[in-house]
Amino acid sequence: MKDIVLKLEKEHFLTDDEFKALLEDDSKETADFLAERASAVKKEIYGNQVYIRGLIEFTNYCKNDCYYCGIRHGNANADRYRLTKEQILDCCEVGYNLGFRTFVLQGGEDGYFTDERIVDIVKAIKAGYPDCALTLSIGEKSYESYKAFYEAGADRYLLRHETADECHYGKIHPKELSLANRKQCLYNLKEIGYQVGCGFMVGSPFQTTESIIEDLKFIKELNPHMVGIGPFVPHKDTPFKDMAQGSLELTLKLLSIIRLMLPHVLLPATTALGSINALGREKGILAGANVVMPNLSPRDVRKKYLLYDNKICTGDEAAECIVCMKNRMKSIGHEVVISRGDYKN
Ligand code: 5AD
Ligand code: FES
């Protein structure tokens, strides 16, 4: 398998058969070699620096009903909340003082937050923190809306494609949502000028090796600046409550594969990864990730933004998380830096 890994490192892509062989090889040797090559490639570009993003989960209202997601519209047990503009700005202030230079505004698709309100919030954050990058993660919008947010000052946009396999997409989403529109949104964001992130869950119900290969091909085609992947974790109030969670090992292998495919990519070791294994984020960094996204949401709403069960850091203050994260990264020879953490060309 080493020859396939070395080919991936050199050519940044593989045939379907080679991807399949690599993905279905569950030996520790292969995983270790992948992580070793991915780490070497990452080190060349980003050194041992880890970029932090302050995640502000500003609304858990959502009009969509994705079968896997804990804040889906159909979950009557979700305790809904919205942060005010002032609360969001308070999160930024706390975050700035802790060394964050990127803020990520993430929320469900919440009609209360009209384009006008989002533009207003984006402008306020960029006016208060002109040296910071602002990332939006608020779902599918029209070209015009994306353009308005960009012109207001938003720099980056995260929109996981969730799965690039049409048939699989239909099994985990209600019929109102389509892969075609999802992809179009990502191309629109790129065209407008955003640094764009796509991504998917590892081990989501009905995912096959073939669906993952489709994901890898789509990622290659889109050539995003960021890729967010984490294990699927069931949420007790969703149709997928009894489904198995995604595997740590496969998530780590995919982080390494994505690093080798897109050497410069900004790749987070996600909260979901940290939630299924006590050292998940450390292992993710050692597999080739170079970003972590500690939570900046106010403590009293953290337990309400639950996309999946057993989410970590829901009882901690932002200040506690950043200290914890710095120590975690130090323990594996990495360093959290005060930086916007832009994509390096
Ligand atoms: N397990 C893991 N990740 C999830 N997400 C949503 N629900 C779950 C879950 N149950 C991910 C989706 C979404 C991102 C914000 O969180 O990929 O795009
Ligand atoms: Fe939040 Fe460790 S990062 S408590």
pLDDT at 184: 98
Pocket of ligand 1 (CB under 6 A): 68-69, 160, 162, 201, 230, 232-233, 235, 272, 307-308
> Which atom from ligand 1 is nearest to the alpha carbon of 69?
7
pLDDT in tens, 203-246: 999 999 999 999 999 999 999 999 999 999 999 999 999 999 99
Site to probe by mutation for ligand 2, drawn from 303, 313, 314 as the one with most ligand atoms within 8 Å of Cβ, is 313
Q: State the distance from the centre of ligand 1 to the C-alpha of 251, rounded, in angstroms.
A: 14
Instruction: Indicate the SS3 state at residue 285.
Output: helix
Q: State the distance from the centre of ligand 1 to the C-alpha of 338, rounded, in angstroms.
A: 27
pLDDT in tens, 264-292: 999 999 999 999 999 999 999 999 999 99
For ligand 1, atom 3: residue with the closest CA: 232
pLDDT at 216: 98
Low-confidence ranges of the chain (pLDDT < 70): none
pLDDT at 113: 98
Q: State the distance from the centre of ligand 2 to the C-alpha of 157, rounded, in angstroms.
A: 24
Long-range contact pairs involving 142-149 (C-beta distance under 8 Å, separation at least 24): 143/188, 143/192, 145/115, 145/118, 146/185, 146/188, 146/189, 146/192, 146/194, 147/192, 148/115, 148/119, 149/115, 149/118, 149/119, 149/122
pLDDT at 154: 98
Contacts (Cβ under 8 Å, ≥6 apart) of 36: none
For residue 326, give the ligand nearest its CA: 2
Residue type for position 316: D
Q: In what order do the strands lie in the sheet with 291-292?
A: 291-292, 49-52, 335-337
pTM over 0.95: yes
| Pair type for strands 195-202 and 49-52 | unpaired
pLDDT at 112: 98
Half-sphere exposure of 129 (CA within 13 A, CB side): 25
Q: CB of 245 within 8 A of CB of 231?
A: yes
pLDDT at 29: 98
Distances 204 to 13, 144, 168 between C-alpha atoms, Å: 24, 32, 9
Residue with tokens 């396999």: 165
pLDDT at 116: 98
Q: Which of 270, 275, 296 is nearest to 285 (CA)?
A: 270
Q: State the distance from the centre of ligand 1 to the C-alpha of 308, rounded, in angstroms.
A: 7
> Which atom from ligand 1 is nearest to the alpha carbon of 240?
10
pLDDT at 81: 98
